[in-house]
Structure 1
Amino acid sequence: MSLRVRLLLIIGLGLSVLWTAVAGWMFLDARKSLREALDNRLAASARMVAGMVAQLPEPANLSANDSKKPFDVIARDGVACEVSLLRSQITAQAIVRTEGGPDLTQATAGFGTHIYGKKRWRTYMLRQGNIQIATADSMDTREALIKELALSAGVPFLVALFGSLIMLWFCITHGIAPLERVRNILAKRKPGDDSPLAPIKAPLELQPLLDTIEQLLERLQGAILRERRFTDNAAHELRTPLTGIKTHIQVAGLAADLPDNNKTLKAALNKADYGVLQLQGILDRLLSLARLDDDAVPVESSDPLEVVDTAADQLQVSYPDLKDRVLIKSDDAIAWVHVSRPLLLSATQNLIDNALRYTPEDKPIVVQITQPDTGRVRISVLDQGPGLSAHDRAHAANRFWRRDRSVPGTGLGLSIVDAIARRHHGTFKLLKRAGPGLEARLEFPI
């Protein structure tokens, strides 16, 4: 359902309900006023006839007429009238009656509704001495007047209602025109267009939406730029081991055709196998980064001291002298952190492995586990390598960034550490030490 139709339905339905309620209220009030006016007409007619009767001869003279049939008079405005002479408290004799009118001798005093000749009548009876004057009008006539009133008011109401809905449609169309202009501008943008949105004349209420769209486009362009850079770096990093594997396989193929070249063949295959392992390491780290970007973070707590010890033990396969090169220091009673154990283990291994790569073999690295306050646990890896400049430290966590490409590695280790820290509301920093080397500081909330 479009926004235009939705607004029309909501506003139109609201106005229709409101106007219908007001029209019903006005109709009920008009019907009540009409009935009161007709009742007042009956009472006024009765009082007028009573005044006229007061000017006639005395009732005793009138009673001398032996005729049992009352005189017929002509009715005006649909009002039936009857003048009766009271014979007793309960008996009355009609002496004057409207032609074709009902017998009102038994009408009750004041207003009433009675059925005469299968028709409902509204009556009013007034007594003046021994004279009884009664007036009446047909309820059918009254209902016809009310229906005519409803029709005369209802038709203009319906016309006004439908006219209002049509005007509302055009007003809504004009009101959401800025949204349509925004849609057209976005639809006409070419892929890769990183220019800001053109100025759009829009109401103040739409300005936050335009600002949000502008910020979204900026973030989108930034993400596209990062993905392009990542793709270029990944292609470059993958090309190197693939080229090496291809070269060593070709050497192995040539060596296989020559006699007594088993040594060359074996060396070429070993180098090709190393290239495969290198390629596998890059792909594994790329998959780890992809999972950190997409997967939900598991709710789990880990013991940082146990994780650091495990990371050092697992790295001993690659560094046989690791126990002599890694010193682990910890405060007493370190709290557990809200980090998945496999991810914390991966981050710690990457930091220790990175420190060992750049630290001379005759110098140790230090892993410190401290709790600087009640809300955080800090894992610091201090190496004695060449260190990094402020510019290099700012870019070291970028994917595939490596300052010294002569040192084996993929350039993804620190990127994985930074991603793990951010996913668990932690922080990762590279800090310059007072002496030689670098401090890799990882903090997580307790």
Structure 2
Amino acid sequence: MSLRRQLLLWLGLSFCLLWTIAAAWLYSDLRQQMRTTLDQRLAASARMVAGLVAQLPADAWRQAGEPILSIPQSAGVACQINSPTGQVLMRTHGEFDGQLDMPAPGFSDRLIDGQPWRLFTYVQNGLHITTADRLAERVTLQRNVIVVAVVPFVVALLGSLLVLWLGLRRGLRPLERLRRELSRRAPDTLTPIEVEHAPSELRPAIDTLNRLLVRTGEALTREQRFTSDAAHELRTPLTAIKTHVQLASRLEPARAGQALADAQAGIARLQRTLEQLLLLARVEADETAFDRVPVACSIVVDAALADLPDAARICTDDGSAGSLTIAAPQGLATAALRNLLENALRHSPATDSIELAIDATPEQVVFSVRDRGDWPAERDTADLTRRFWRGACGRGPDSGSGLGLTIVAAIATRMGGELVFEPRANGGLVALLSLPRVSDRPYS
């Protein structure tokens, strides 16, 4: 069942139930009020007759003739006056002989000729004055009042249901516009959704959906970029490996060994490229996938140096590293520092050393990597973090994947840090990697 029908059903039933309860309450109160009003009228009639009787002379009853008036029974009202001895002095209906006699004052109900009547007796100076109403007349009056009240009630109820239906139709119109907007979209359309005159209750849902579309678009962009990068970078190594294997199968054993060695080198480079691609895709994914457990800088440095074959060329100045802690996953921090050191080793002469220093600010820990490599002092460093950019190294066997510094920049950005390069005066680079610090003492 649609939301509109559910709302219409539940609200319509609620309206009908509440209006019915209100009508029953109103009818009960109206019936009681009418009974009280008619009883008061009956009592007022008796008192009025008593007032008229009090104005008659004392011998008026002896001079009166027949005490029975010829009022038809269909009039629905009756009156009788009795003397203190019980003698009927005046009666409006002759056929009511003895049926209007009431020894005690007050109200009572009585069947007269098979019809219910309401009687009231008033005593004044010994005279018993009894007035009566036929209850059928009261029932007819109540029925007429109910009919008059029910018609506006039914009209108001039907009008309320109509207004409810129109209000629901108008109120749910933004949902219908949202449905049409979504149904018209192509599967690859991820632009934000705009619904005109959207109510405040629907706006959070639209904003959430738009944020989901943005995240989905970013995820698709990352997947497409990863697919494109993988296809671009893996084609050449795979072709080279295939060529070396084919040569090894055709050449004599002495030369086949060299072809197999070249194939193994290509496999190692391919493996490294795949690892870098996967790490970059992971870094660019949702940051909630990373566990930001604080880690000591000394642990990061030791792990990064352990993965480098030329770690002996790195001179470390980490006197304060033991007391510094960063708010970043150990694996990502280690990968970022290792890539910086590996890049510096690759672009520096084999006889030169690399300087690694660790400094701190109140908010950041700065890893400084200094080399005397082949980077000119006057050259701009903007291209260093571009994907697959290798500069003057080209695509030689030691050129790397062209993703190392891109990964470092992505890790720094994701962790809330920064990667900055500064050319050195006589050639080489200073790479400054900043990561968030976990402070162990307050700063003044």
State if a TM-score over 0.5 links the two structures.
yes
Structure 1 CA distance for aligned equivalents of residues 364 and 16 of structure 2: 61
The structure 2 residue matched to 1:250, chosen from 243, 246, 250, is 246
Corresponding residue for 2:102? Answer: 105
Corresponding residue for 1:336? Answer: 325
Query: Structure 2 counterpart of 1:439, which letter?
Result: A
The structure 1 residue matched to 2:185, chosen from 165, 182, 189, is 189
Corresponding residue for 2:126? Answer: 130
**SS of alignment partner, residue 243 of structure 1:** helix
Is the 1:326–1:367 Cα contact (8 Å) retained in structure 2? yes
Structure 2 CA distance for aligned equivalents of residues 84 and 439 of structure 1: 125
Corresponding residue for 1:427? Answer: 417
Structure 2 CA distance for aligned equivalents of residues 420 and 77 of structure 1: 103
Corresponding residue for 1:298? Answer: 291
Matched, 1:363 2:352: yes
Is the 1:383–1:438 Cα contact (8 Å) retained in structure 2? yes
Corresponding residue for 1:258? Answer: none
Corresponding residue for 1:308? Answer: 301
Is the 2:105–2:122 Cα contact (8 Å) retained in structure 1? no
Change (3 A) 1:222 1:336: closer
Corresponding residue for 1:409? Answer: 400
Corresponding residue for 2:442? Answer: none
Is the 2:297–2:321 Cα contact (8 Å) retained in structure 1? no
Question: What is the CA distance between 1:372 and its match in structure 2?
Answer: 0.5
Query: Structure 1 counterpart of 2:244, which letter?
Result: H
| Stretches of structure 1 lacking an aligned partner (at least 5 in a row) | 256-260
**SS of alignment partner, residue 339 of structure 1:** coil
Matched, 1:237 2:233: yes
Query: Structure 2 counterpart of 1:427, which letter?
Result: G
Question: What is the CA distance between 1:221 and its match in structure 2?
Answer: 5.0
Moved more, 209-218 or 33-42: 209-218
Number of positions where the alignment pairs a residue of Structure 1 with one of Structure 2: 423
Corresponding residue for 2:369? Answer: 381
After superposition, the C-alpha distances for 1:165-188 in whole angstroms (9 at most, x for unaligned) are: 334334433454454344434433
Give identity over the alignment, percent: 37
**SS of alignment partner, residue 255 of structure 2:** helix
Corresponding residue for 1:441? Answer: 433
Query: Structure 1 counterpart of 2:46, which letter?
Result: A
Corresponding residue for 1:41? Answer: 41
The structure 1 residue matched to 2:271, chosen from 280, 296, 299, is 280
TM-score in terms of structure 2 length:
0.73
Change (3 A) 1:442 1:21: farther
Query: Structure 2 counterpart of 1:105, which letter?
Result: M
**SS of alignment partner, residue 378 of structure 1:** strand
Query: Structure 2 counterpart of 1:236, which letter?
Result: H
Is the 1:334–1:377 Cα contact (8 Å) retained in structure 2? no
RMSD: 4.5
| Stretches of structure 2 lacking an aligned partner (at least 5 in a row) | 439-444
Is the 2:296–2:321 Cα contact (8 Å) retained in structure 1? no
Moved more, 432-441 or 77-86: 77-86
Structure 2 CA distance for aligned equivalents of residues 93 and 440 of structure 1: 127
After superposition, the C-alpha distances for 1:132-163 in whole angstroms (9 at most, x for unaligned) are: 33445577875775566456534543453344
Change (3 A) 1:333 1:289: closer
Question: What is the CA distance between 1:212 and its match in structure 2?
Answer: 7.6
After superposition, the C-alpha distances for 1:117-136 in whole angstroms (9 at most, x for unaligned) are: 99997654433221233445
Question: What is the CA distance between 1:250 and its match in structure 2?
Answer: 1.0
Corresponding residue for 1:346? Answer: 335
**SS of alignment partner, residue 306 of structure 1:** helix
**SS of alignment partner, residue 442 of structure 1:** strand
Query: Structure 2 counterpart of 1:42, which letter?
Result: L
Question: What is the CA distance between 1:265 and its match in structure 2?
Answer: 1.7
Structure 2 CA distance for aligned equivalents of residues 81 and 381 of structure 1: 122
The structure 1 residue matched to 2:153, chosen from 139, 157, 170, is 157
Is the 1:421–1:442 Cα contact (8 Å) retained in structure 2? yes
After superposition, the C-alpha distances for 1:274-320 in whole angstroms (9 at most, x for unaligned) are: 222333333334444455526633352211222212321232xx22x
Is the 2:276–2:403 Cα contact (8 Å) retained in structure 1? yes
Structure 1 CA distance for aligned equivalents of residues 271 and 140 of structure 2: 94
Is the 2:174–2:195 Cα contact (8 Å) retained in structure 1? yes
